[in-house]
Amino acid sequence: MQFSGRRRKILSNPQTELYGHCLQFYVQPPLENITLTEFETFAVERLKLLKTVENLGVSYVKTSEQYSKKLESEFSNLNFPYRAAADDKKVQNGPTEYEKRRKDHISHFILRLAYCQTEDLRRWFIQQEVDLFRYRFNDLLPKHKLEFLHRNNLQYDTISVEEKKALAEKLINSSYAVSGITVEDQDFYKVPFQDALDLVRTRKVYLKAGYVYIPHQDIVTIVLNDFRTRLSKALALTARSLPAVQSDERLQPLLNHLSHAYVGQDYSIQKSVGKISLEQIDSLSVKSYPLCMRQLHQALRENHHLRHGGRMQYGLFLKGIGLTLDQALQFWRSEFIRGKVDADKFDKAYAYSIRHMFGKEGKRTDYTPYSCMKVILSNPPSQGDHHGCPFRHSDPELLKQKLQSYKISPSGINQILELVKGMHYQLACQKYFELTHNIEDSAFSLNHPNQYFIESQKLLGGGREIKREMDAPQRAQENSATRGSTVARETSANPSQDLAEMTEDLDSFFQDA
Amino acid sequence: MPSSDYDPASLPDLLPLYYRRLFPFSQYYRWLNYGGVQKNYFQNREFSFTLKDDIYVRYQSFSTQNELEKEMQKMNPYKIDIGAVYSHRPNQHNTVKSGTFQALEKELVFDIDMTDYDDVRSCCSAADICSKCWTLMTIAIRILDRALRDDFGFRHLLWVYSGRRGVHCWVCDEAARKLSVAARSAVAEYLSLVKGGEETVRKVVLTDPIHPFIRESLTVVEHYFSQYALQEQNILSNKESIDKVLALVPEDILLKDLLQHFQTEKNPEKRWGRLKALAKNKQAAVKKGQYFEKEIMLQYCYPRLDVNVSKGVNHLLKSPFSVHPKTGRISVPIDLRELETFDPFDVPTISLICEELDRPRKGEEEEEEDETKEKENEKDVAERRKIRDYKRTSLAKYVKYLDQFLDGMARSWKGELLRKSDLQKDF
Ligand code: SF4
Ligand SMILES: [Zn+2]
């Protein structure tokens, strides 16, 4: 891209070719000159679009109707090309289809510049662009899909009719979307399983000897894989040429601003470091923890141990709410040594990873507390694990019992379970927040456990809470009470109650006089 | 063979002997060098050692087999872990620019640990195992081995007994070693059916249609289920375990029916038969699949993978032929042709094989020497003695199996090397 003030006329007109289809593979970077204002508007609007993609992806199933509807309206609000408009009609007062496609093209490449800079930015950008592309590709009419494949030279191996016949039963049983008729009518593509990981992961495809057999209707998977691979390669290349762009003092601040503006807060840098004392944690876990963290805290107190996934999720959260490294070490050590781990073993086997979380060991990366999306989507809990999001990973029946034991009203519980059923986990969590904080409408949209905590503290006036130490007798009381609550889940109908009550009592010690 | 004859306190005395005279360095090197097809593959491999008193040293690496041998004989590790092949030599990781030191490749690995089955076995718990629950490992190996071969097309699978309560699988194919993190996690998830942690009761949920992979896996489970679950684990014999099973039955009406039936019928096979029949009726009645009897079978028997171990390229896993410090057993490869008779309690302990070394030699050795004379002439004396040494112990058959496994891989490297040199000729 050139950013000189003068506009050069381009003689041959490659744009018609470039913008011949409403969807692009973004192979060619834009060659024209654009003004800085346009540069900025385009970039900001694409970011808005990507941000919408991210938010919707958390609240809705990506193939659901609501998801499409919401995204569709965002497309038209922001004037991005949506669905193949048959001809370039001039919509009243709006930009032409050509202008929209141009914007789609240019804005994508601008964001590549802003988002190629670090691993995290790249990952975020690729994820959103891939989701966006999936939505747009799925939305195309079949003939436009074919046209798109053709235009971009995307060819994949198909299997013969005989092979199809031989495998028919297996193919039908591999995906609920495939029937006998589909097998007959559709082409099946045979590609290495590495090119269709999403289908492999979810077991939605037939897999044999390292190859997957994908019906034409699912071709989006292969195309997406291509899209993702190319984009990630392109970003790596862009990153290498970045120093040249960064030396441009008009662009540099703009790009930085863009990349910071929309990734959302990461909660890794806390203003409140050192404002919390370890003795407050039990009480905070009842008042201000989201369910996921409360569950981890409780499991830790009961078992004096957490497995890796739990240590990471909870440990980073604790860092995020302001524990210092020393506090964190003390916190984990004091709990672990009450279980099977002695102090020596703790220092050898666990202290390292805690220091690591705080960026004091190894790669020195400052680990960021997990967002809801990360908790919900990655690393689901397995045997012996307590991490994850209770709204996503608990059996509804157990969730219900838990909510009952936390004294949520039956109608509240129903509302929460409804949201869970609709897979709106974060909304369910937000409802839980409203119910436990006695407010009608929380004025934030929940996407991070640490955000939950901060909002809760704001409401409870905890922001002002000052660090104070408990005196010895009370601490002893706390310990014995916690130990008393070490009941196996099976044997107690209401295992969480003891702890909940105990900590509620403790609450009174922290109340401002 | 009693494992009680192993005393953990003797480990510091036995390890030097083990590493000096028994550890199969040559096979070990041959494995991890992968025929020298890729440059520096062995040299850039991370090893980590756990020494006495749990001292843990990461990022060890060695340029030659000899160096590895010397170092292990010097350090006498209690435990050896194998990590990834890195972009640089791991022992120099501090000297390269940060960010450039990266894990590039590793075998695709699986770790199955008996402790993950605690909610479905009644015979033992935690780190304990017995011949009854060992069947779970047999089932796991059967299911995963089939899927990794037939579905994913891998061919070089090394199954290894962990030395205590589980098994590991090392998928050594080149394609497997090159898999990305995303691909590893996709494979692991494809293979995972039992989902959910302490907050989930029903851990297997099947939906229509049943994927061919699940069908195949069910066939394996069905083969063992009656003997293992009904007879040995008694899952339908006492109140407590019955309740656990019934918690997985979806509907109250069925539950009532079953409870009534169980009042009079005591035979677990027949009880299970009733449950199966109900499931079948159910399936006929509603169109949407009701597969609860299959779900129960899978929840009780299906392999439980530690997905995180498989996902990471840089995740470390205990090395074959490492000693388990608690049991003293050697982590030996398992020959699947003898899987049904594999007995973890038959696996030699370090004290046993060291003792075997001290036994007087028998005549048989002369013959063997003739056989291998030609080969052995090329090797130095120490090497020759070591070969003779392990052959005199119960370790021999496991080393022999590793040799066979490596021969199988060598055949595929040869193809690869030929291809490469052909390419070179073209230029
Ligand atoms: S929605 Fe987020 S904050 Fe709430 S429980 Fe789930 S992961 Fe935690
Ligand atoms: Zn057992």
pLDDT band for position A281 (cuts 50, 70, 90): very high
**Closest chain A C-alpha to B195 CA, distance in angstroms:** 6
Rg, C-alpha atoms of chain B: 24
Q: Which CATH architecture has domain A14-152+225-258?
A: Up-down Bundle (1.20)
B381-386 CB contacts, 8 Å cutoff, 24+ apart: B383/B26, B385/B21, B386/B21, B386/B22, B386/B25
**Atom 2 in ligand 1: residue holding the nearest Cα:** A372
What is the Å distance from ligand 2's center to B11 Cα?
Answer: 26
Sign of the Cα pseudo-torsion (A382, A387, A388, A392, in order): positive
3-state secondary structure of B46: strand
Q: What residues have CB less than 8 Å from B355, skipping those under 6 apart?
A: none
Higher pLDDT, A415 or B2: A415
Is B111 part of the annotated catalytic residue set?
Answer: yes
At A275, is the pLDDT very low, low, confident or very high (cuts 50, 70, 90)?
confident
Look at residue A471 in the predicted model and tell me its pLDDT: 33
* Active-site residue, selected from the candidate residues B46, B69, B145, B232: B46
Instruction: Report CA dihedral (B45, B46, B51, B56) to the nearest 10 degrees.
Output: 180
The size of chain B, in residues, is 427
**Structural contact between residues B119 and B201, judged by C-beta atoms closer than 8 angstroms:** no
**Site of tokens 């029937």:** A179
Taking CA–CA distances from B243, the nearest residue in chain A reads A490
CB contact under 8 A, A384 and B197: yes
Q: Which residues pair with B171 in a beta bridge?
A: B108, B157
pLDDT band at A377 (very low <50, low <70, confident <90, very high): confident
Q: What distance in Å separates the CA atoms of residue B382 and residue B390, rounded to the nearest whole number?
A: 13
Cβ burial of B66 (10 Å; 0-12, 13-18, 19+) is exposed
Name the residue of A292, A378, A435 to mutate for ligand 1: max ligand atoms within 8 A of Cβ: A292
DSSP for B200-213 reads: -S------SSPPHH
Cα radius of gyration rounded to whole Å, chain A:
27
- Which residues lie below 8 Å from residue B30, measured CB to CB, with a gap of 6+? B406
Query: Around Cβ B345, how many Cβ atoms within 10 Å?
Result: 13
Q: Look up residue A307 and give its two tokens.
A: 């497995």
- Tell me the domain boundaries of chain A: 14-152+225-258, 161-218, 278-324+368-509
3-state helix, strand, coil split of chain A in percent (to 5) is 60, 5, 35
Rounded Cα distance, A77 and A71, in Å = 10
CA distance B2 to B345: 8
The reported pLDDT for the residue numbered A347 is: 85
Task: Name the DSSP class of A477.
Answer: H
A372 marked among binding-site residues: yes
Torsion of CA B136, B139, B141, B146, to 10 degrees: -160
Distance of CA B13 to the CA centre of its chain: 28
Q: Cα–Cα distance between B93 and B78 in angstroms, integer? A: 24
Q: CB of B102 within 8 Å of any CB in chain A?
A: no
What pLDDT does residue A507 have?
29
Catalytic, out of B81, B105, B107, B111: B111
Residue A491: pLDDT band by 50, 70, 90 thresholds?
very low
pLDDT score of A271: 64
| Chain segment B314-327, per-residue pLDDT in tens | 899 999 999 999 99
pLDDT for position A502: 31
What is the pLDDT at residue B325? 93
Domains of chain B: 8-189+305-362+376-424 (3.90.920.10), 197-301 (no CATH)
Give the SS3 label for residue B166: strand
Q: What is the mean pLDDT of chain A?
A: 79
Residue identified by tokens 């109707």 is A65
Q: What whole-number distance in Å separates Cα of residue B296 and Cα of residue B246? A: 9
Among residues 108-127 of chain B, which lie with CB inside 8 Å of chain A?
A: 115-119
CA angle B170-B175-B180, nearest 5°?
A: 85
Checking if the pLDDT of A72 tops 90, the result is: no
Stretches in chain B below the pLDDT threshold 50: 1-4, 364-371, 373-374, 376, 427
Confirm or reject contact between B36 and chain A (CB < 8 A). no
Ligand 1, atom 1: closest residue by C-alpha: A426
Question: Looking at per-residue confidence, does A361 or B401 come out higher?
Answer: B401
Q: Is there a contact between A288 and A305 (Cβ–Cβ < 8 Å)?
A: no
* pLDDT: which is higher, A265 or B37: B37
Chain B: residue whose CA lies nearest to A391: B199
Burial environment of residue A95 by CB neighbours within 10 A (0 to 12, 13 to 18, 19 or more): middle
**Is pLDDT of A363 > 60?**
no
Give yes or no: B113 in active site. Answer: yes
**B213 interface with A at CB cutoff 8 Å:** yes
Whether residue A7 is predicted with pLDDT greater than 80 in this model: the reply is: no
Kindly list the distances between the CA atom of residue B322 and the CA atoms of B13, B164, B310, B393, in Å, as whole numbers in the listed order: 16, 11, 20, 16
Per-residue pLDDT at A5 exceeds 60: no
Residue A497 pLDDT grade (very low, low, confident, very high; cuts 50, 70, 90): very low
Per-residue pLDDT at B23 = 96
Look at the block and give the residue holding tokens 């192979």.
A27
pLDDT score, position B176? 97
How far, CA to CA in Å, does A265 sit from each of A73, A268, A370, A426?
26, 8, 11, 17
**Residue A464: pLDDT over 60:** no
Question: What confidence score (pLDDT) does residue A238 get?
Answer: 87
Could you give the CA distance from residue A293 to residue A104 in angstroms, rounded to a whole number?
A: 41
Neighbouring residues of B250: CB distance < 8 A, sequence distance ≥ 6: B290, B292
Ligand 1 binding residues, C-beta < 6 A: A 290-292, 372, 375-376, 389-391, 425-426, 429, 449, 452
Q: Judging by beta carbons within 10 Å of its beta carbon (0-12, 13-18, 19+), is residue A288 exposed, middle or buried? A: buried
Alpha-carbon gap: A11 to the closest alpha carbon of chain B (Å): 43
Report how far Cα A126 is from the mean position of its chain's Cα atoms: 12
Q: Taking CB atoms and an 8 Å limit, are A380 and B201 in contact across chains?
A: no
C-beta of residue B201 within 8 angstroms of C-beta of residue B247: yes
Predicted pLDDT of residue B256: 86
Q: Do residue A344 and residue B308 have CB atoms under 8 angstroms apart?
A: no
- Residue B287: the pLDDT is 58
Ligand nearest to the CA of B115: 2
End-to-end CA distance of chain B: 60
Burial class (CB in 10 A: 0-12, 13-18, 19+), B349: buried
Residue of B107, B113, B145, B232 marked catalytic: B113
- The pLDDT of residue A463 is 47
Shortest-distance ligand to the CA of residue B114: 2
Question: B227-258, pLDDT tens digit by residue?
Answer: 999 999 999 988 889 999 998 887 767 788 88
Q: Which residues contact A398 (CB under 8 A, 6 or more apart)?
A: B199, B200, B201
For ligand 1, atom 6, name the residue with the nearest CA. Answer: A389
CB-based contact, A241 to chain B, within 8 Å: no
Write out the two tokens for B253.
Answer: 């009406």
More confident position, A242 or B33: B33
Q: How far is the CA of A469 from the centre of ligand 1 (A)?
A: 30
> How far, in Å, is the centroid of ligand 2 from the Cα of B114?
9
3-state secondary structure of B225: helix
pLDDT at A66: 83
Q: What is the pLDDT of residues B24-51, one digit of tens each?
A: 999 999 999 999 889 999 999 999 999 9
Under 8 Å CB pairs connecting chains A and B tally to 121
- Counting Cβ atoms within 10 Å, is residue A348 exposed (0-12), middle (13-18) or buried (19+)? middle
Q: Is B116 a catalytic residue?
A: no
| Whether pLDDT at A113 is above 60 | yes
Q: Measure A497 CA to nearest chain B CA, in Å.
A: 16
Give the strand pairing for B55-60 and A211-215.
unpaired
Encoded tokens for B177: 């070693």
Q: CA B10, CA B7: separation in Å to the nearest integer?
A: 6
Return the SS3 of B249: coil
Asked if the model's pLDDT at residue A62 lies above 70, the reply is yes
What does the pLDDT read at residue A468? 36
What would the pLDDT profile of A77-87 be if each residue is shown by its tens digit? 888 887 655 44
* CA–CA distance, B294 with B219 (Å, rounded to integer): 11
Within a 10 A sphere around the Cβ of A170, how many other Cβ atoms?
17
Q: Is the dihedral of CA A254, A256, A261, A263 positive or negative?
A: positive
In this prediction, residue B126 carries a pLDDT of 82
Whether A209 and chain B come into contact, CB under 8 Å, resolves to yes
CA distance A418 to A412: 10
Chain B residue with the nearest C-alpha to that of A169: B212
Say which DSSP state A64 is in. S
B208 vs A: CB within 8 A: yes
More confident residue, A123 or B218: B218
Strand locations in A32-137 (E): none
Q: Which H, E and C letters describe A135-175, residue by residue?
A: HHHHHCCHHHHHHHHHHCCCCCCECCHHHHHHHHHHHHHCC
A328's CB contacts (< 8 A; 6+ apart) are A315, A318, A319, A354, A357, A358
Cβ atoms of residues B282 and B290 within 8 Å: yes
CB A456 within 8 A of CB A439: no
Q: Is A208 on the interface with B (CB under 8 A)?
A: yes
Subunit contact B199:A381, Cβ cutoff 8 A: yes
Q: Which residue has the higher pLDDT, A444 or A326?
A: A326
Pocket-testing residue among A291, A451, A453, ligand 1, by greatest number of atoms within 8 A of Cβ: A291
Centroid of ligand 2 to alpha carbon of B338 (angstroms): 21
Mean of pLDDT values over A95-104: 88
Q: Which residues contact B395 (CB under 8 A, 6 or more apart)?
A: B22, B24, B330, B332, B348, B353
State the smallest CA–CA distance between residue A182 and chain B in angstroms: 15
Q: Tell me how close the Cα of B49 comes to any Cα of chain A, in angstroms.
A: 14
Which is nearest to A508 in space by CA: A470, A473, A455, A476? A470
Instruction: Give the C-alpha separation, A53 to A127, whole Å.
Output: 10
* Least confident residue range of A13-27, A174-188, B254-268: A13-27
Those residues with Cβ within 8 angstroms of residue B273's Cβ, 6 or more apart along the chain or in another chain: none
